Structure 1
């Protein structure tokens, strides 16, 4: 029988970390602007990365070893040290991007346990954020050797929706390992000839010296492309291409194929029953798109803040209708862009995610009440300005009927030159969406941690909008969402 006292042990080790009188390691981060003290024995036994680093560093005159990690933020490294010493990682109120960056840092410091736990956490609880930032996530994880679970998560999406990666502007910067991980899958939902086209496009982009016109290519040019694609070419299903596809697409690049393979491809087209020497890969499976009838699951609500009735009311206001829309004739789809509980509550997150989006509705659930307030912006949010008031006659702010709130309040912009502000880059640290009489603000970089969100509450007639939407000015929030309003197609 063993008695375990991990809580006390963790507490004592954290106290050791915070004791600045007995350290022999200094770690400098954030371009050497911040530094942390630590103990070499703990670092070495908790991280193979630190073991190697410390063995290769000579101590200074104070018998202290200095490690420089300029690219790591102080906030991230503080979490790393808390884990190394106490086995504690408190992620409450941490936004999704921070969790992702912490996972990358944990991998860099070879903290396998923490890396795996954060990877699983992102997949299980931050799926919406991962999809919103899909291209960034995809390129960054395939630049590393680990993160197999995240790679599978992303590839399971790409095999169904290849355009996410293949039609992206940065497709040709894709890592070779990422491309191979896709084209070798049997369930890749794309025509084989298109896979060939994309592989050729990727291969050519890796060598800037290849002539633009294929007719100008030399034997050496084809050899260069063959070398570049040597790991990709075996995964093409050549024997499942039509004769026309072989003639139009494969034949122009036949010099990058092994002679036996090219001979077998042609033989198979003429006499498919005859055996060939080359390996014939199975055809890619096509997923069944129509499922047999079954009991429908209850439809997941599109919002955690408002109902379909609220969406109908907001749609009525957008179109300036005198007769309200019903649930059966709402002309718009509310497409989620941001949700605080998934993406985080930092003001900068709003500008990063909502940048460039037009026709958006901001919805805020006020802390401690039943109130739902918000605003509609028909123009684009722009994070790259020096701070500029935007003019429109179609913007409005509102409070929605909910719980103890008996009636909705609509307040249209009256001073159209000051409908909303695209906040300057420096201001985005504290300020989120900013309508003339309603804005979201936080000194703590988290809208839920202070009471600095604001709605004009006096009815003096001096506001930018027609009337107040709250009876008191300052408040905190428990959640907020931003939706893009898209007209439904008939």
Structure 2
């Protein structure tokens, strides 16, 4: 049995702040008429804050054995609260205004008080979301200086996904930090046409280099090189192959010198011969709310969810806000699988004994590739799936309507050739469909040969195990010759997923990236 007296301990340590006998540190904060000094003890500061531990190593002791730390950018009010937390481990924010809580969070993070900073971040998101929305510009630009505040970044990026004009059409857009811009561009769910992203990053890049001539037609090669260097982290995030050809010609071509030569060659080829493979990586299209987009730009929605409404009147009344996209029971992305299949596959991914209910599917399936939209050449698979992990491949067998497929938790990598890939988490399957009474799950049993990345991307697509589910075509079209197979004999996976080893062609196939909701 143990007796714990934390309240008394906290009170006694806090009282040390009023004891002027044993202190050996002075901390000066704020500036001007608000400047104030606090006394402290190095042993407590060092063990409570990694920041002070490092600071005290670098500060010289004066003749009275006192070290002085100067922090002019922290207000006396905020630092007094922080110092009491360092000593007593308690903060009372009950009557504290939200702006002070926000400043407290930022300064606690700077002083590497991670526990306090994270707690305040969670509090603001959970209880002060309206304030965060109202003070969008203030907060958003201040949280991208480092790798912290990930939850706040996601909070704001979720808003931007719905209302991108809040940031892209704001007067101070060009003052946005590069890290913030990159964080936005990485998202797949921004409801903006891709050509607009190109226009925005060009605008931002030029603004970072005010000495560039106003008329880009007068630019030298050196001018283009400067812009290319400025945008080197942003350019790979543009989904070039989903920009209409007319816009590529009118708006991208004037700046083609900032693109890699191979990318420009591939773009030119793509719009002339869309079914031919290219060498450049093709990123998936973003999910936007334009009604006449191809189906591959959407994500299979959670049909039981209700869209989150933003309560801030400033956001709701903005004339630039795009209309919402509301999921309906008839909306779907896949032409092969349905919601019940998604629930079943999701339960297999999580190794659940029971199938998830439709209301509790923990994943969304983001379409990367569809054969009928992107082509059936094997190399198209390797180009479009390259770099993607945690993916599901589903294919519909010609003549039988069977649905077969496999899950790959690893990253598809078109630079690997003729190698087996090791994992304990892959599986293959066939799905209940029409005359097929029950789905079949077959988990990997030979982890060293879970997948095979072929040495000939012109013939072979995805291959699970030793041909236990493999897509192949000797004429570079999975629909044209019967070369795909689900071999019956067992060597890498538990069970056969078909009752025959006959080779087959496919009607269509799709590849989805599985994303946690």
TM-score of the aligned structures, taking structure 2 as reference length:
0.56
Q: 1:11 to 1:277 in 2, by over 3 A?
A: same
**Cα distance between partner residues in 2 of 1:135 and 1:71:** 20
Look up the SS of the partner of 2:68 in the other structure.
strand
Q: What is the CA-CA distance between 1:188 and the residue it aligns to?
A: 1.1
1:89 counterpart (67, 91, 96): 91
Kindly tell me the number of residue pairs found equivalent between the two proteins: 303
**Cα distance between partner residues in 2 of 1:147 and 1:133:** 16
1:64 counterpart (63, 66, 88): 66
Give the structure 2 partner of residue 328 of structure 1.
none
The question of whether the paired residues in 2 share the 8 Å contact of 1:14 and 1:86 is answered with: yes
Question: Structure 2: which 5+ runs fail to align?
Answer: 292-300, 315-517
Q: What is the CA-CA distance between 1:286 and the residue it aligns to?
A: 2.8
1:121 counterpart (120, 123, 144): 123
Give the structure 2 partner of residue 343 of structure 1.
none
Q: 1:51 to 1:293 in 2, by over 3 A?
A: closer
Q: What is the CA-CA distance between 1:295 and the residue it aligns to?
A: 12
The question of whether the paired residues in 1 share the 8 Å contact of 2:26 and 2:69 is answered with: yes
Give the structure 2 partner of residue 48 of structure 1.
50
Give the structure 2 partner of residue 171 of structure 1.
173
Partner deviation per Cα, 1:1-52 (whole Å, 9 max, x = no partner): 5443221211110111222222111111112721110100000000111111
Q: What is the CA-CA distance between 1:296 and the residue it aligns to?
A: 9.6
Give the structure 2 partner of residue 107 of structure 1.
109
**Cα distance between partner residues in 1 of 2:270 and 2:158:** 32
Look up the SS of the partner of 1:159 in the other structure.
helix
**Cα distance between partner residues in 1 of 2:121 and 2:59:** 31
Give the structure 1 partner of residue 233 of structure 2.
231
The 4+ residue runs of structure 1 with deviation greater than 6 A are: 291-297
**Cα distance between partner residues in 1 of 2:290 and 2:93:** 40
- Tell me the C-alpha RMSD between the 2 structures: 2.5
Partner deviation per Cα, 1:321-357 (whole Å, 9 max, x = no partner): xxxxxxxxxxxxxx857xxxxxxxxxxxxxxxxxxxx
Give the structure 1 partner of residue 259 of structure 2.
257
Give the structure 2 partner of residue 18 of structure 1.
18
Q: What is the CA-CA distance between 1:292 and the residue it aligns to?
A: 11
**Cα distance between partner residues in 2 of 1:9 and 1:89:** 15
**Cα distance between partner residues in 2 of 1:123 and 1:18:** 35
Alignment of 1:254-403 (within 5 A): 254-286=256-288
Give the structure 2 partner of residue 394 of structure 1.
none
The question of whether the paired residues in 2 share the 8 Å contact of 1:187 and 1:287 is answered with: no
**Cα distance between partner residues in 2 of 1:288 and 1:163:** 16
2:224 counterpart (222, 225, 231): 222
Give the structure 1 partner of residue 149 of structure 2.
147
Q: What is the CA-CA distance between 1:145 and the residue it aligns to?
A: 2.8
Look up the SS of the partner of 2:141 in the other structure.
helix
TM-score of the aligned structures, taking structure 1 as reference length:
0.59
**Cα distance between partner residues in 1 of 2:209 and 2:21:** 56
**Cα distance between partner residues in 1 of 2:289 and 2:244:** 21
Look up the SS of the partner of 1:283 in the other structure.
coil
Q: What is the CA-CA distance between 1:288 and the residue it aligns to?
A: 9.5
Partner deviation per Cα, 1:181-208 (whole Å, 9 max, x = no partner): 1111111111100010001000111101
Q: What is the CA-CA distance between 1:241 and the residue it aligns to?
A: 1.0
Q: What is the CA-CA distance between 1:141 and the residue it aligns to?
A: 0.8
**Cα distance between partner residues in 2 of 1:148 and 1:294:** 27
Look up the SS of the partner of 1:35 in the other structure.
strand
The question of whether the paired residues in 2 share the 8 Å contact of 1:189 and 1:287 is answered with: yes
Q: 1:288 to 1:264 in 2, by over 3 A?
A: closer
Give the structure 2 partner of residue 434 of structure 1.
none
Give the structure 2 partner of residue 6 of structure 1.
6
Q: What is the CA-CA distance between 1:287 and the residue it aligns to?
A: 5.5
Look up the SS of the partner of 1:140 in the other structure.
coil
2:158 counterpart (156, 159, 169): 156
Q: What is the CA-CA distance between 1:215 and the residue it aligns to?
A: 1.1
